[in-house]
Amino acid sequence: MADTPEVHKVWIHIKPVSRALPTGQVAYGFYTLVDGVVTMTDAKGKPATDEAGKVYTHKLETNDDANIIAGRLTRQLRDALLGKKDAPPSGFGAPLNYPKAGIY
């Protein structure tokens, strides 16, 4: 019987602290690291999939940090599960606030 890989937990910020959201908003994900491959999982280590059955993995490069990569994969998986396929990065699409023209 093969050893079960250790399941790690990662937290990501979804929304920053604001007056409307004094604590901000975070999401978390679980992942395993086996032979240099980060795989998103559930809390028990079963690979997590989106609606299309895609498994979220990443082969680590020399200077990659598994926790940072897992955070990115958590965001991608979360967006896919929420139906935000190919969603732009946070902050894009928001109104641009330009200073009023004239002498200051």
pLDDT tens, residue by residue, 8-61: 999 999 888 888 888 888 999 999 999 999 999 999 999 999 888 999 999 999
Does a structural domain hold residue 87? no
Does a structural domain hold residue 29? yes
Pair of tokens at residue 49: 């999939």
Kind and range of the H or E run holding 32: strand 25-34
d(CA 52, CA 17): 33
Domain of residue 77, residue span: 8-81
Does a structural domain hold residue 92? no
d(CA 34, CA 40): 11
Does a structural domain hold residue 91? no
- Name residue, tokens 């093969």: 2
The pLDDT tens digits for 55-84 are 999 999 999 999 999 999 999 999 988 887
Does a structural domain hold residue 86? no
Count of domains observed in the chain? 1
d(CA 85, CA 22): 28
